[in-house]
Chains A and B, each alone.
Chain A
Amino acid sequence: MVSTFGAPLMALLALVTILTLFAVLLLAQRLRPVERAEVEEVAELSDLDVTIDNVGLVVDAIARTRLWRTVGVLVAVAGCVGWVVVVAMREQRLTFELAFLLWGLIGYWAGSVVAELRTAQTDPGDGPRTASLERRELTDYVGSWAAVWPRRLGLAGAIAGALALATGSRDPWVIGFGLGAAAISVAGLVVAQYVLERSRPDLAPDVAAADDAVRSRSLHAIGGATVGIGIWAASIAVAGAILTLAARAVGDDPSVVLAGEAQLLGGLYALVLVVFCVVLPITGFVVGRRLGRRPFPVRRRDSVVEAPA
């Protein structure tokens, strides 16, 4: 095989080795004990007073979420490396695609979801159980963007996919990204609801505040990744819809288009491709990461009022 592939194979082996070492080092780094600075970061982002009683809850959440998010990203990286290997074996060339960033974001999102699913529901025990009558709303834990943007992006993706279908496009990428934007938006909102409704018996105020902070950070991470993936998928679906409509506008036979119009259409194609398939996806990645780290103060708990006898 070395004689067949030569330099590309050596480069491929080097890439795989470097990425494997990177993955092992990253995982080892993420498995280390939670440090004080990480707890302080959560406390600062959520305006949380850390106490001896609530620090354990925060430490557990940090350890669990960072482990599963790392695993998610590493699985995505492994998938991308696998793709590079397959392409190299088939076509004897090395490839790097912008979509690898999207897969990384999807891995992060999936890891965040697994971390939430692995968060144990509180054992209620056998004795009397108490619960607050305060209704937990998404906007108590994260800005309204987490509810608004996934819906808008999902709708944009669904409309673009439907439009492409209606205008005769059978391009699986356009339809796939359109449906993907809608699916990730719905999934993001469902997971957010799950995080909100996860069990929380009536707790001491400082522990309840830590629980709120942990939920808030989880909702930021999942919401940010959902928006990032949604922007990416919806952008490509919209680009596909625009190009399909443009192609339909010039008719089935582009050869009848005059030279000037052809240049104009070529310019439009290039502009749409650059804006919707490069600039917006990268923007989505950056925006998603930033939203996930946005500060949000946790709620302050008022005094408890017991049910009248």
Chain B
Amino acid sequence: MILTVDPSSAVPPYEQIRAQLEAMVASGTLEAGDRLPSIRQLAHDLGLATGTVARAYAELESAGLVVSRRRTGTVVADGVAASPSERRRRLSEAAEQYARAVALLGVAPDDAQAAVLRALAR
């Protein structure tokens, strides 16, 4: 499993980490009990300050998605993977957001669909 962070993005790095980990937990890619890398390991690997990764982990912990323990480090919490109906609901919500953005930009539906397919192919 790979995390990607773009420092030039308008989205803060901690939020990029948090959002990707949240997505992995919700999709079941990360399962309950899976251990996340230590804060320093992930910070060094991504070339970020440890505080950045610590903030992302803290927000995930506040949301109940992960649990930090002294002996085992940060692990994915039990019962947080989304059910199939929840996944459908979130997908539908994301699609509606995207549709609104497409409408605001005045992009043709075919072009919008092509953009989605390109993004999915990446």
Instruction: Point out residues on A near B: beta carbons under 8 Å.
Output: 121-136, 196-202, 304-309
CB neighbours (8 Å) of B5 from chain A are 128-131
Residues of B within 8 A of A131 (CB): 2-3, 5, 37, 42, 45-46
Once A and B bind, how many residue pairs between them come within 8 Å at the CB atom?
A: 95
A86 to B57, CA, bound (A): 57
- Classify chain B: how many residues form its interface, as a range: 20 to 34
CA distance A131 to B119 in the complex (A): 21
Residue from B3, B7, B23 in contact with A130 in the complex, judged by beta carbons closer than 8 Å: B3
> Given A122-B47, A307-B1, A133–B8 Cβ distance below 8 Å?
no
Besides A126-B7, A130-B2, A307-B23, 8 new A-B residue pairs in contact (Cβ under 8 A), listed by A number: A128-B5, A133-B37, A196-B41, A201-B45, A304-B2, A306-B2, A307-B3, A307-B20
From 14 to 31 in chain B, residues with beta carbon under 8 angstroms from any chain A beta carbon are 20, 23-24, 27, 29-30
**Shortest Cβ distance from A202 into B: residue:** B2
A199 touches B6 (CB 8 A): no
- Least Cβ distance of B21 to chain A in Å? 8
Whether A128 lies near B4 (C-beta < 8 A) is yes
Residues in B neighbouring A309, C-beta threshold 8 A: 23, 119-120
A199 touching B2, Cβ below 8 Å? no
B72 (CB) vs chain A CBs: closest residue: A135
Residues of A within 8 A of B88 (CB): none
Contact A304 B1 (CB under 8 A): yes
B37 contacts across to A, CB distance below 8 A: 131-136
Known interface pairs A134-B37, A135-B35; A308-B23 also in contact (CB < 8 Å): yes
Which residues of chain A come closer than 8 Å to B3, judged between CB atoms?
Answer: 130-133, 307
Question: Does B27 contact A129, Cβ atoms closer than 8 Å?
Answer: no
Interface flag for B44 (CB, 8 Å): yes
9 pairs, A vs B, C-beta closer than 8 Å: A121-B47, A126-B8, A130-B5, A133-B37, A133-B42, A197-B41, A199-B45, A305-B29, A309-B23
Q: Given contacts A133-B3, A135-B35, A305-B29, is CB(A197)–CB(B46) below 8 Å?
A: no
Binding site for A on B (CB under 8 A): 1-8, 20, 23-24, 27, 29-30, 35-38, 40-42, 44-48, 73, 119-120
A307–B24 touching, CB < 8 Å: yes
Q: Of all chain B residues, which has the CB nearest A137?
A: B35
Distance from B1 Cβ to chain A, minimum over Cβ atoms (Å):
4
Cβ–Cβ contact A308 & B27, under 8 A: yes
User: What is the minimal beta-carbon distance from A141 to any residue of chain B, in angstroms?
Assistant: 13
User: In whole angstroms, how far apart are the Cα atoms of A135 and B24 in the complex?
Assistant: 16
Known: A126-B8, A305-B1. A199 touches B38 (CB 8 A): no
User: For A306, what are the chain B residues with a Cβ–Cβ distance below 8 Å?
Assistant: 1-2
Is A132 touching B29 in the complex (CB atoms < 8 A)?
Answer: no
Q: Given the known A-B contacts A135-B35, A135-B73, are A307 and B2 also in contact in the complex, defined by CB atoms under 8 Å? A: yes
Asked whether A133 lies within 8 Å of B7 as measured between CB atoms, the reply is no
**Chain A residues whose CB sits within 8 angstroms of the CB of B1 once the complex forms:** 132-134, 304-307
| Contact between chains at B2 and A121 (CB < 8 Å) | no
Minimum distance in angstroms from A305 CB to a CB of chain B: 5
> Quick one: which of A133, A198, A308 has the most chain B CB within 10 A?
A133
Q: CA–CA, A309 to B35, complex, Å?
A: 21
Give complex CA distance A123, B27 in Å.
32
